[in-house]
Structure 1
Amino acid sequence: MTLLLPTLAAAIALRVNYTGDPADGTRTRDRDAIWLGHAWVDGRKTDKDVTALAARLRTTGIRDRVR
C-alpha cells in the first residue's frame, strides 16, 4: 500500500495534466526538427555541408530565436 498510493497519485496527476486539446502552435508541422548525426560534431562535415544545411533550414519552421 505504501508504494501503491504514491504511484497511483502520480498516474492520476499525469493523466489530468495531459487532458484536453493542445494550444495553438504546439502541434508539429513535420518541418520543425532535423536529426543531425555525430558527423556534425566530430569534424567530418565541411563548410560546404554547413552551407547546404543552412539552405535546408531556411525551408523549415526551425529558428534559432523566437520571432
Structure 2
Amino acid sequence: MTLAIFFINLAQIGMISTALSLVALHLLKVNLWNYDDNEVVKIFEIVRVMGLFLIILSIILFFTIAFIST
C-alpha cells in the first residue's frame, strides 16, 4: 500500500506542475508580443503535457497496485 501512496504523490506533483505551467502560459500570453514563436512557451507546453501524462500514469498505477494488493 505504501507504493500506491507513492503513486498518488506522483499524481499530486503532476497536478502542481500542470497548474503552474498553465499559469505561466497565461502570464506569457498576456505579456509577450510574439507568443506563438517563443521557445519559453514551447518549454511550458511540454511541462504541461508531461504533468498530464504523470497524472494519468500515476492514477493507473495506483489502481493497479491497489487491486493487486487486495
TM-score range, shorter chain: 0.3 to 0.5
- Output the TM-score relative to the length of structure 1: 0.34
- Output the TM-score relative to the length of structure 2: 0.33
1 or 2 for the larger relative contact order (CA 8 Å, sep ≥6)? 2
Which protein is richer in helix relative to its size?
Answer: 2
Q: Highest Rg: 1 or 2?
A: 1
